[in-house]
């Protein structure tokens, strides 16, 4: 298990001084990136071997949003490699050791020269020490699209969205989708299904459906094929 300690910074909070959902995703992503760097399986290794880990699905549960200045610790560990896929858990603890966020994720190992999935090699699988999965109710990776979704104004994928894999970073899709939530919608669970990578300059066409304390946002290309499907769930009143 890899640990990454941090403090909730001003740049990571909302108007009420709570850590934002995209900031939570970023610290989880940072944690697994530093884990790979620590094992010398990080960005340079992947670039040299023309490989990349691409996120296929997120499930993130937030029991409590940490506040500005609060000390937190993020943890991550893989629990399964199967073919070209890897499954990884996360948790964030507060200073008292309480789990305030936990997550499951599904990743695909990609040949960057061909864009196709490839089997995770033995040397990579052995570098990561598998641990038992976090005890949580794991959702299906697929998110069905509801009927009668409302079309919204298109968005251009700008430079601020692009990561080292030269496509829109996973947290940026969530940031885009979050803009369509009602003002007092407090996300307690997030699911994301990533289907196709958007790149710099791509036009993204959002479709939205909000009903019964849930919101689904499909971020699609011009042909109506989703780049990502984002589902937000809040506590029922």
pLDDT in tens, 147-176: 999 999 999 999 999 988 888 998 999 999
Per CATH, the homologous superfamily of domain 2-127 is: Hotdog Thioesterase (3.10.129.10)
Residue pair 167/199 in contact (Cβ under 8 Å)? The answer is yes
Residues 135-166: b if buried by 16+ CB within 10 A, e if exposed: eeeebebebeebeebeebeebebeeebbeebe
Cα–Cα distance between 181 and 204 in angstroms, integer?
17
pLDDT at position 237, please? 45
Tokens linked to 212 = 């019964």
Q: Domain 150-234, what fold? A: Thiol Ester Dehydrase; Chain A (3.10.129)
DSSP-derived 3-state class of residue 118:
coil
Which secondary structure element, helix H or strand E, spans residue 153, and what is its range? none
Nearest Cα to 23, choosing from 155, 162, 175, 156?
A: 175
Q: How far apart are the first and last CA of the chain?
A: 36
- Residue 224 is predicted with a pLDDT of 93
- Average pLDDT over the chain reads 94
Tokens linked to 76: 């991550």
CB 195 within 8 A of CB 226: yes
Low-confidence residues of the chain, pLDDT below 70?
236-237
Q: How far apart are CA 74 and CA 25, in angstroms?
A: 11
The model's pTM is 0.92
- Segments of the chain assigned to CATH 3.10.129.10: 2-127, 150-234
Among residues 65, 67, 64, the alpha carbon closest in space to that of 9 is found at 67
Q: According to the model, what pLDDT value does residue 236 have?
A: 53
Q: For 130, list phi and psi in degrees, rounded to 5.
A: -70, 140
pLDDT at position 43 is: 92
For residue 164, the model assigns a pLDDT of 82
Cα 198 to Cα 43: distance, rounded to the nearest angstrom: 20
């Amino acid at each position: 298990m890899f640990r990454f300690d941090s403090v909730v910074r001003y740049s990571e909070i909302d108007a009420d001084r709570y850590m934002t959902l995209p900031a939570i995703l970023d610290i989880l992503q940072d944690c697994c990136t530093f884990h790979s760097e620590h094992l010398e399986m990080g960005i340079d290794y992947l670039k040299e071997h023309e490989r990349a880990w691409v996120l296929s699905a997120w499930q993130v549960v937030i029991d409590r949003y940490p506040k500005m200045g609060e000390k937190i610790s993020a943890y991550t560990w893989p629990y399964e490699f199967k073919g070209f896929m890897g499954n990884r858990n996360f948790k964030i603890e507060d200073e008292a050791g309480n789990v305030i966020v936990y997550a499951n994720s599904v990743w695909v190992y990609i040949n960057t020269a061909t864009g196709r999935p490839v089997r995770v090699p033995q040397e990579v699988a052995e570098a990561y020490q598998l641990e038992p999965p976090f005890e949580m109710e794991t959702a299906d990776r697929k998110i069905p699209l509801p009927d009668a979704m409302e079309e919204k104004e298109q968005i251009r994928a700008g430079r601020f969205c692009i990561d080292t894999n030269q496509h829109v970073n996973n947290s940026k899709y969530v940031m885009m989708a979050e803009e369509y939530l009602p003002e007092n919608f407090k996300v307690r669970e997030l699911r994301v299904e990533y289907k196709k990578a958007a790149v710099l300059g791509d036009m993204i066409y959002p479709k939205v459906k909000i009903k019964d304390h849930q919101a689904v946002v499909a971020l699609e290309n011009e042909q109506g094929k989703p780049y990502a499907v984002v589902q937000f769930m809040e506590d029922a009143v």
